[in-house]
């Protein structure tokens, strides 16, 4: 997956602005009945990997095409605390109306990129890649998976059509009909579109053996402790790629990499990343300063 298309970004921005400005901005309209030129600077208040600058820019332009972006760091940049991320000049009313949506996108996406970078750093030195999952905010998957990329991670399936992943609920139904993991892999190979890799979930060494018998391309070791992952890797003997998942944390991920995982998928990258700490400061030509909430 590459960066989201301009149309994808625009769609997300328009939806967010429609939500926030459905009835206008009554506070700003009451306080500033006429135009006043001002400069807005969005500042990072913690070490972070920045993601969402392209989205924030689009927010300001969508609110007022006459605003000027005078400085911005690049998406994917690692910055120190108190680094200016984006500076915009224009009518103060436009800047205030765009503020919350622009900062929200930056906080959400930079949080994802920052957490991803931390997971990638935790497995540095091992031939293991950090993957995301489909546990994303509905409607924002493209943006959130882009943030994972900016943090150094790799994208797993973008949608259900991107690959075969035989999981526990598929297997629970199939077992009731007498089909095990091996049989599920054979069914998928016979009926799925040509060329798609077959991935099968395994919770036990017996299921690993069944996945191998079914010639799975990738075996997903779910909720296994590192010692059991090591046994599974020895059993697989490079006949399939090994993915590990299930409750991964920054404290446990290195042990899984050391156990021999080719990939580690981390749902928390998108469903539990803490929002990054950024805010927008305003400075008017008259010297008035402030920070809105």
CATH number of the domain at 282, please. 3.90.1170.20
The pLDDT tens digits of the residues spanning 18-65 come to 999 999 999 999 999 999 999 999 999 999 999 999 999 999 999 999
One domain for residues 136 and 241: yes
Tell me: do 110 and 216 sit in the same domain. no
How many structural domains are present in the chain?
Answer: 2
List pLDDT tens digits, range 177-220: 999 999 999 999 999 999 899 999 999 999 999 999 999 999 99
Catalytic residue among 58, 222, 243, 262: 222
CB-based burial, 183-217: b 16+ in 10 Å, e otherwise: bbbbbbbeeeeeeeebbbbbbeeebbbbbbebebb
CA gap 112, 116 in Å, rounded: 6
C-beta atoms surrounding 114 within 10 Å = 24
Other beta carbons less than 10 A from residue 160's beta carbon: 9
Which one is catalytic: 68, 167, 239, 288? 167
Span 281-291, average pLDDT: 65
Number of DSSP helices (H) and strands (E) in the chain, helices first: 11, 13
The two tokens of residue 1 are 């997956």
Flag whether pLDDT at 135 surpasses 80: yes
pLDDT at 291: 47
Whether the pLDDT of residue 293 is over 50: the answer is: no
Active-site residue, from 57, 89, 93, 100: 100
Active site residue 222: yes
pTM of the model: 0.94
> In Å, how far are 68, 168, 209, 236 from 205, measured between CA atoms?
59, 15, 6, 10
Q: Which pLDDT band, with edges at 50, 70 and 90, does 286 fall under?
A: low
For the segment 2-15, the average pLDDT, to the nearest whole number, is: 94
The rounded Cα 251 to chain-centroid distance in angstroms is 20
Quick check: 74 and 53 in contact, CB under 8 A? yes
Question: What is the distance between the alpha carbons of residues 204 and 223, in angstroms, rounded to a whole number?
Answer: 10
Question: Which domain does 93 fall in, by range?
Answer: 6-116+274-290
Residue pair 165/220 in contact (Cβ under 8 Å)? The answer is: yes
pLDDT of residue 144 exceeding 90, the answer is: yes
Tokens of 217: 């391309």
Is 80 a known active-site residue?
no
- The pLDDT value given to residue 1: 53
100 is catalytic: yes
If asked whether residues 124 and 247 sit together in one domain, one would say: yes
Instruction: Give the whole-angstrom CA distance, residue 244 versus residue 253.
Output: 10
Same domain, yes or no: 278 and 267: no
Given 129, 135, 154, 209, which residue is catalytic? 135
* pLDDT value at residue 284: 85
The answer to whether residues 133 and 180 belong to one domain is: yes
What percentage of the chain carries pLDDT values higher than 70?
97
- In this predicted model, what pLDDT tens digit does every residue of 79-132 receive, in sequence order? 999 999 999 999 999 999 999 999 999 999 999 999 999 999 999 999 999 999
Taking residues 229-257, report their average pLDDT: 97
76 & 170 share domain? no
Question: Is residue 209 flagged as an active site residue?
Answer: no
pLDDT of residue 3: 82
Catalytic residue among 132, 201, 243, 262: 201
């Amino acid at each position: 997956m590459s960066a989201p298309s301009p149309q994808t970004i625009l769609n997300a921005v328009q939806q967010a602005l429609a939500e926030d400005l459905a009835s206008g901005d009554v506070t700003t309209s009451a306080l500033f009945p006429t135009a006043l030129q001002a400069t807005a600077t969005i500042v990072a208040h913690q070490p972070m990997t920045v993601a969402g600058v392209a989205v924030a820019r689009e927010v300001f332009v969508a609110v007022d095409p006459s605003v000027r972006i005078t400085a911005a760091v690049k998406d994917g940049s690692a910055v120190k605390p108190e680094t200016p991320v984006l500076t915009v000049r224009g009518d103060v009313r436009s800047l205030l109306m765009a503020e919350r949506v622009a900062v929200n996108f930056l906080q959400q996406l930079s949080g994802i990129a920052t957490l991803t970078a931390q997971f990638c750093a935790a497995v540095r030195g091992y031939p293991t890649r950090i993957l995301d999952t489909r546990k994303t905010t509905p409607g924002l998957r493209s943006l959130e998976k882009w943030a994972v990329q900016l943090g150094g991670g790799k994208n797993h399936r973008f949608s259900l059509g991107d690959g075969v992943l035989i999981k526990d609920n598929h297997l629970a139904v199939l077992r009731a009909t007498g089909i095990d993991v091996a049989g599920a892999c054979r069914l998928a190979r016979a009926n799925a579109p040509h060329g798609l890799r077959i991935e099968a979930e395994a919770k036990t060494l017996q299921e690993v053996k069944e996945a191998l018998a079914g010639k799975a391309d990738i075996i997903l070791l779910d909720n296994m402790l590192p010692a059991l992952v090591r046994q599974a890797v020895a059993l697989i003997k490079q006949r399939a790629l090994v993915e590990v998942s299930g409750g991964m944390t920054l404290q446990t991920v290195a042990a899984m990499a050391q156990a021999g995982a080719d990939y580690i998928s981390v749902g928390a990258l998108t469903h539990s990343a803490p929002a990054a700490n950024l805010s927008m400061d305003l400075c008017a030509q008259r010297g008035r300063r402030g920070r809105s909430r």
